[in-house]
Amino acid sequence: MLSGFMQMTIVLGLFAANVVNFFLQDHKWGWRLSNGVILIAPLIIMMGIFFCPETPRWLFKEKGRESAEKSLKRIRKIDDVTAELDAIANAIREEGNEVSIKELFTTKKMLQRLGIGVGVHAFLQLSGINIIFVFGGIIFESIIGKGIISLLILSGANMLSTIPALFLFDRLGRRKLLLYCGLGMIVGHFVSATLFVTGCNVVKTIINDTTVNEETINCKTSSGVLMLIFTVVFVASYALSWGPVAWIYAAEIFPLNVRARAVSITTAGDWFLGMLMSYMLELITPLGIHGVFYLFSGLCLLAVVFVYLFCPETKGVLLEDIEEVFENFQLKNRTIIKVLRRPCSRDIKRTYM
């Protein structure tokens, strides 16, 4: 749930930024004021960090029970924190010794789990969500002439769809949300691309027969609006599932004695791939806007296949039982794998007969 709330704060900030941009779009100092407003939040964080106490759990491990008790009393505003301190002590004792980075990469079971965590975060980025919010304004400005309003609509859909996600992942399950909403993401991208192909044309202005000076996109109003609507479908599907659930799932699949290091690696992979995705705009020139949307639709399809084949349900699973869940969730037991193996099994039987 806390990981989900982290995503909620991100989408809330994104929506707030687009609201500010909307109201300042015609102001002569518009972009300067927008960037000035952005500085408010980090300044508050920088000042507030000096008033935050160390976590009792870290203090217990590094400096002992007494230091943890002082911090816990300050946080809880009560004098008797014995029960919670005992719970922290028991949890630390159950964790045992932390697994090293070397062991994480050399233990087959942990390496497989790490691959799943990194894979979930990779597809989180490969879905194209950041491209929509970073370059969506430019794309929809060229399509319908309303880039800032389009971003406001998209960020609003993102924020509003994240709210029910905070409750749905415990009711419907992580795996179901990733699968079914992943299908919605595929549809959103695919239909948007098809609408661009059927309802828009690109006019190129050429100088000296070789150099492309500029490209003008002419779209039917209905096609442009429908593209925005189906991009909203993609964003809403993402916000209901991959946005918050990927962070939750990648943390749940690791035991406590390796979780901190493993999650740091999966998170680093997420942001590294996010950095590389900022160059995806370069693909618009060779592929076109529709080609980029088709590409992301295909990547979302791969994400759904990945979850179906490798990601078991973790809803309601105790930490002690997570190992058993992964041992029972074998690739060979997936229905589609069984169906594909039947012809091979028959051929083998005929060969021996």
Please name the helix (run of DSSP H) or strand (run of DSSP E) that holds residue 20, with its range, or none: helix 2-24
- 152, 22 in Cβ contact below 8 A? yes
- 175, 313 in Cβ contact below 8 A? yes
- 110, 100 in Cβ contact below 8 A? no
Tokens 């593209």 locate to 227
* pLDDT one-digit tens code per residue, 276-286: 887 877 777 77
- 187, 236 in Cβ contact below 8 A? no
User: Is the pLDDT higher at 119 or at 82?
Assistant: 119
Q: What is the pLDDT of residue 302?
A: 96
Q: What is the pLDDT of residue 159?
A: 92
* pLDDT one-digit tens code per residue, 15-74: 888 888 888 887 777 778 887 887 888 898 899 888 888 888 888 888 888 888 888 888
- What DSSP designation does 55 have? P
* Cβ contacts of 186 within 8 Å, gap of 6 or more: 297, 300, 301, 304
pLDDT band at 344 (very low <50, low <70, confident <90, very high): low
| In the predicted structure, residue 188 carries a pLDDT above the cut 90 | yes
Q: What is the pLDDT of residue 120?
A: 94
| In the predicted structure, residue 166 carries a pLDDT above the cut 60 | yes
Give the pLDDT mean for 86-104.
76
Q: What is the pLDDT of residue 50?
A: 86
Q: What is the pLDDT of residue 49?
A: 87
Q: What is the pLDDT of residue 333?
A: 64
Give the pLDDT mean for 168-191.
92
DSSP class per residue in 227-275: HHHHHHHHHHHHHHTHHHHHHHHHHHTS-HHHHHHHHHHHHHHHHHHHH
- Per cent of the chain over pLDDT 90 is 25
Q: What is the pLDDT of residue 240?
A: 93
Q: What is the pLDDT of residue 352?
A: 52
Q: What is the pLDDT of residue 347?
A: 55
- What DSSP designation does 54 have? P
| In the predicted structure, residue 214 carries a pLDDT above the cut 70 | no
| In the predicted structure, residue 187 carries a pLDDT above the cut 90 | yes
Give the pLDDT mean for 200-204.
78
Q: What is the pLDDT of residue 289?
A: 85
Give the pLDDT mean for 177-195.
95
Buried b (16+ CB within 10 A) or exposed e, 83-104: ebbeebeeeeeeeeeebeeeeb
Q: What is the pLDDT of residue 350?
A: 57
In angstroms, the CA 134 to CA 17 distance is 12
pLDDT band at 91 (very low <50, low <70, confident <90, very high): confident
User: Is the pLDDT higher at 104 or at 294?
Assistant: 294
* Domain range list for the chain: 2-44+106-316, 53-96, 321-353
Q: What is the pLDDT of residue 104?
A: 79
pLDDT band at 241 (very low <50, low <70, confident <90, very high): very high
Query: Is the sign of the CA dihedral 103, 104, 105, 111 positive or negative?
Result: positive
Least confident of 47-56, 238-247, 301-310: 47-56
- 300, 127 in Cβ contact below 8 A? yes
Q: What is the pLDDT of residue 341?
A: 64
Q: Please name the fold of domain 2-44+106-316.
A: Growth Hormone; Chain: A; (1.20.1250)
